[in-house]
Homo-oligomer: A and B are copies of this chain.
Amino acid sequence: MHSYNDLLKIINSELNKLNFDKEPQNLYQPINYVIKNGGKRIRPVLTLMSCELFGGDYKNAVSSALAIEIFHNFTLLHDDMMDNADVRRGNPTVHIKWNDNIALLSGDAMSIIAYKLISESPVNLTDILNTFSNTALNICEGQQYDMDFEDNPDVSEEEYIKMITLKTAVLLACSLRIGALSANAKQEDCENIYEFGKNLGTAFQLQDDFLDVYGDTNKFGKNIGGDIILNKKTFLLIKALKEAKGQDYQNLIHWINAKDFNNQEKINAVITIFNNLNIKEYTLQNMEKYYNKAYEIFDKIPIENERKKVVIDFAESLRRRDC
């Protein structure tokens, strides 16, 4: 079995082999730009890793791994349009660098290119296609719930977990399952690795919410408190809105409705409310709950621990990140 870094090298090398140097340039250059713009490549690496975990040849999973990475980047491209985001990974987003129409259409093309690659899967094509399509549709559903939440003052914790499961977690789950399918793994193993990924992905997103507020300022890519400034309905804000009483509640509503404010002042004020309500501990507890559930499910997969180590090491590296 290859190490995480070996698999990452394989993915980057295979991505580089894809040729988007084609006409019309206004369609293909943005695709090239997005793919070359980096990213951690977690999902395609997990696909290859899962394939090897179940004894498969990683080469059988390469085309679907690339499909998943391209699909992921397509969702980011269109999400950035919907969120009016100007920057992605330190560079201008496609609709800023080009324009809305070009971003829309090159995104559409990326989704098709992802399907072209998925269709090249040499093992278990039908199951892989179904997993991929169901996941792709889940991601659209999750994104729509996320947008719906913006206008909904009363989002429950359960609704939030459902949304991040659809928007974020199932793609990690799908990456692992497609790797397992490419190795001809048993159905039960495919289910377990999927559920492992889903819980891991949910934990990962809760941690993202957590780190936006309590991350290490020196290391975290974005500045601390970005979600607070934007009133983003994170797990922390949803819990705080539910638990806050009296002065804390009034303060929270004041800062949510404030139009002109000093960013740092708002961040400090909201963090103070979060601290009063023990939101930090509550979020960590929930995050740990999903990590632990992921590990429990992973334990059920009947493979010797030595083979499993590369997956556990990866999950632990996520769990231990502070940025």
- Spell out A's residues near B (CB within 8 Å): 23-24, 26-27, 78, 81-82, 101-102, 104-109, 111-113, 115-116, 119, 125-126, 129-130, 133-134, 136-137, 140-141, 143-145, 147-148
B111 touching A26, Cβ below 8 Å: no
Query: In the bound complex, what is the Cα–Cα distance between A315 and B111 (angstroms)?
Result: 33
A26 touching B108, Cβ below 8 Å: no
Pick the contact of A125: B23, B125, B133 (CB < 8 A).
B125
B101 touching A147, Cβ below 8 Å: yes
Query: In the bound complex, what is the Cα–Cα distance between A126 and B116 (angstroms)?
Result: 10
6 nearest A-B pairs in the assembled complex, by CB-CB distance? A27-B144, A109-B140, A119-B129, A24-B144, A116-B133, A82-B101
Query: In the bound complex, what is the Cα–Cα distance between A140 and B106 (angstroms)?
Result: 8
Query: In the bound complex, what is the Cα–Cα distance between A108 and B147 (angstroms)?
Result: 15
Pick the contact of A112: B24, B125, B126, B136 (CB < 8 A).
B136
Which B-chain residue is minimally distant from A107 (CB atoms)? Answer: B108
Pick the contact of A116: B27, B78, B113, B137 (CB < 8 A).
B137
Chain B contacts for A115, CB-based, 8 A:
115, 129, 133, 136
Chain B contacts for A111, CB-based, 8 A:
108, 111-112
Chain B contacts for A140, CB-based, 8 A:
27, 105-106, 108-109, 112
Chain B contacts for A101, CB-based, 8 A:
81-82, 147
B104 touching A148, Cβ below 8 Å: no
Rounded to whole Å, the gap between the CB of A96 and the closest CB of chain B is 16
Rounded to whole Å, the gap between the CB of A139 and the closest CB of chain B is 9
Query: In the bound complex, what is the Cα–Cα distance between A143 and B102 (angstroms)?
Result: 10
Chain B contacts for A27, CB-based, 8 A:
140-141, 144
Q: Specify which of A26, A106, A140, A147 lies most central, judged by the most chain B CB atoms within 10 Å of its CB.
A: A140
Chain B contacts for A141, CB-based, 8 A:
23-24, 27
Query: In the bound complex, what is the Cα–Cα distance between A129 and B128 (angstroms)?
Result: 13
- A126-B119, A126-B125 known; A82 and B105 CB under 8 Å? yes
Query: In the bound complex, what is the Cα–Cα distance between A133 and B118 (angstroms)?
Result: 11
B137 touching A112, Cβ below 8 Å: yes
Query: In the bound complex, what is the Cα–Cα distance between A151 and B140 (angstroms)?
Result: 33
Rounded to whole Å, the gap between the CB of A162 and the closest CB of chain B is 10
Which B-chain residue is minimally distant from A145 (CB atoms)? Answer: B24
Chain B contacts for A108, CB-based, 8 A:
78, 107-108, 111, 140
Rounded to whole Å, the gap between the CB of A21 and the closest CB of chain B is 14
